[in-house]
Structure 1
């Protein structure tokens, strides 16, 4: 798994978990989905992604997600 795919998998998991929590625990968990979406949007504009920095520090190699 490369860095790009790990970031996308992490974002997808955050969105799915927050939707499940908003349906089962409290509706305000949907704010986590909004946060994830805003973070993905700002990362696409600025190129700064904290999750990518974390995964890179863990040793994942960079790569193109879609070839």
Structure 2
């Protein structure tokens, strides 16, 4: 699996998890402050789309995941 595919999987998983923890109607609700984490992930995805640089992808490559789309 390539680093970029893993970045998408991790980002999607973290968004779903933070929504489950931050939306009051969720059975897993903890605090609505988790929605800031959702926004943080969205900002990072936006930034990586503009700059073509992603910290998570760099981390994955350093631990041995092969690069590519």
- The TM-score, its normalising length taken from structure 1, stands at 0.89
Coordinate RMSD, CA, aligned: 0.9
Question: Displaced runs of 4+ in structure 1, greater than 4 A?
Answer: none
Give the superposition deviation at 1:63: 2.1
**Residue 34, structure 1, aligned to residue 44, structure 2:** no
> Which residue is equivalent to 1:62?
67
Unaligned runs of 5+ in 1: none
Unaligned runs of 5+ in 2: 24-28
- The TM-score, its normalising length taken from structure 2, stands at 0.86
Q: Aligned runs of 1:2-41 on 2, under 5 Å? A: 2-23=2-23, 24-41=29-46
